Structure 1
Amino acid sequence: MKERQIQIALAAMDLFLEYGYDEVTSADIMAHFGQVPSAMYRHFHSKQEIYQEGVALLSSRLADRLTGSLSFTNLPLPIVIPILPTLPQVYPYPIEDKTKGIHHDLLFRIAANMVPIWERRLKQAKEQREVEIDDVSLKARVCVYGQIGIFLDEGLSGPEKIDKTKEFLFHLLWMDKSH
């Protein structure tokens, strides 16, 4: 993807997340760059294509921030978990009714990006006897989707979500010996 396409897709995501997909037009997106709406077609076929590329780019960047500590260190997991960023720390977009669908698309794409990284790290931790896990793939999915569930809990504040996420991961990986 060319740099200009990346800029357009990410700028469009900012607009979609602020106003909602249906409220943002191609003209709105291109006005951000001081260009006429038809200029969009030099880079994309449709607003939907911009959206799909924007979700892919933004979710990849957020997933990288969430899992960087997992994939670029050989520190034991009990040391990594406390310093591991959580969704409330890296996800800066408020979730409103008009944008819930966009957030769900982003969060599920973030999860899809995170699961393989968690699988590799948990496999490594199992081989090094840091954790006792029978089904690494299942445990990786529970780690990732559990974090999203905590993040989406509207009854918790941001700091509570961070604490609950860390507590959840510790419980799942070290206190739950049933799997």
Structure 2
Amino acid sequence: MTTGSTAATRPRNRKQVIVEAAGQVFSERGYHAASMEEIAAVVGTSAAALYRHFPNKYALFAECANVIVDKLVAVVDEWPPEAALTDVLVALTRVTVTHRASGGLYRWEARYLQREDRRQLRTKFAHVVGRVTELVRREYPRSDESLRAVAALGAIGSITSHRTSIAQRRIEELLLASALGVVTSDPATAAGSARLVELPVQPVPRTRRAEILTAAIPLFARDGFANVTNAQIAQAVGLAPSAIYRHYPGKVDILVAACLQAAGLLAQAVDRSLRQATDPRQAVVALAAAYVAYCFEHNALNSVAEAEVAGLPPELQRPVILAQREHIAVWEQQLRRVRPELDSRQTRLLVHAGFGVVVEAGRALRWQDAPGHRDAVTALVTGALTV
């Protein structure tokens, strides 16, 4: 009797259940904000029970970070070299959508991995990119196959970064069309799109408060908010650590200020660019060009705003999330003028796919603002939107 009860409460796949639950919690809350107790509550067990499978939170996190990438590697390795690109993208999309709830930690939270674990994760993802690149080169040969491949994967992976609710089959159809739009795009279609962008300049820090913010942003971007101390920020400005509190109640308030500054700069860029658009399609291209230019110009600021919002207390999240929603609403309005067959949720999904393209393509280009990079990424974004 006791044996049967134990078997019922400790299924053979308990470790897998823990990893899936932890991946979702880490993805939603961030590595540092998540706790073993919170993960245990989702699983329906105690924190002590988690430690029977994982020695500490980091070991569990490292396993979660590899789950979706390992499954993507398995997918590309299952297909023979002569496989059709569409078939492989369908399989990759299905895996990503299935693990949507936990996949978000790969994009931003993986920076909290230790160096060797991070290197191994990048190697695995590079293998997936390399396999997709081979297929793109065979079916749509040009000089930028690798960039188009990684951008297509960015479009697919974008589903892990938001919660827009649509039937799974429709999600897969939209993401596949978006990824194919990326791999078939031509940078020449966005040549000269920079003329549509009038990017605002990041404010010159003229007060001590502004100097603190300016110093903190690159530290947050490089090391992650949780790993940066007030002492490091103060040192960068030439202050005693205690002096920070004269200008900000706490470190989290510096982060909120950074997120709101990012939202303000992006809103200005969008407003200025849309004024120059003369038709609906050009308005979408202008939006894409403005967003791409902003990400290249203010990369550290944008990465902080994107990566750290989940870790903010709910009351501090609200103004940041509201600003993000207002930005997406502008995209939704403009894109639906070009593609009226889409409903609001489908439009939002494609907008996020475009954002995913910028993240992965920008990383692949190391955010180097070389001639043609902004135009190339803008073309990939409009490809993802299939306009």
CA 1:63–1:10 in structure 2 vs 1: closer, same or farther (change >3 Å)?
Answer: farther
Q: Does 1:32 align with 2:245?
A: no
Per the alignment, residue 328 of structure 2 pairs with: 115
Deviations 1:42-78 (A, max 9, x none): 11111122112212222432354356423x3562122
Q: Is the CA contact (8 Å cut-off) linking 1:11 and 1:29 kept in structure 2?
A: yes
Per the alignment, residue 132 of structure 1 pairs with: 340
Question: In 1, distance between residues paired with 2:263 and 2:308?
Answer: 9
Per the alignment, residue 83 of structure 2 pairs with: none
Q: 1:76 aligned to 249, 260, 279, which one? A: 279
Q: Is the CA contact (8 Å cut-off) linking 1:26 and 1:47 kept in structure 2?
A: yes
Aligned residues: 158
CA 1:168–1:154 in structure 2 vs 1: closer, same or farther (change >3 Å)?
Answer: closer
Per the alignment, residue 213 of structure 2 pairs with: 9
TM-score, with length taken from structure 1? 0.64
Amino acid at match of 1:15: L
Larger radius of gyration: 2
Question: In 1, distance between residues paired with 2:264 and 2:241?
Answer: 27
Secondary structure of the corresponding residue to residue 45 of structure 1: coil
Amino acid at match of 1:150: V
Written as runs of structure 1 = structure 2, the 5 A alignment for 1:149-164 is 149-153=356-360, 157-158=364-365, 159=373, 161-164=377-380
Between 16-25 and 102-111, the greater mean CA deviation after superposition:
102-111
Written as runs of structure 1 = structure 2, the 5 A alignment for 1:44-83 is 44-66=248-270, 68-70=272-274, 72-73=275-276, 75-83=278-286
Measure how far apart 1:152 and its partner are. Answer: 3.3
Indicate the RMSD between aligned Cα atoms, in angstroms: 3.7
User: Which ranges in structure 2 are unaligned for 5 or more consecutive residues?
Assistant: 1-205, 311-319, 366-372
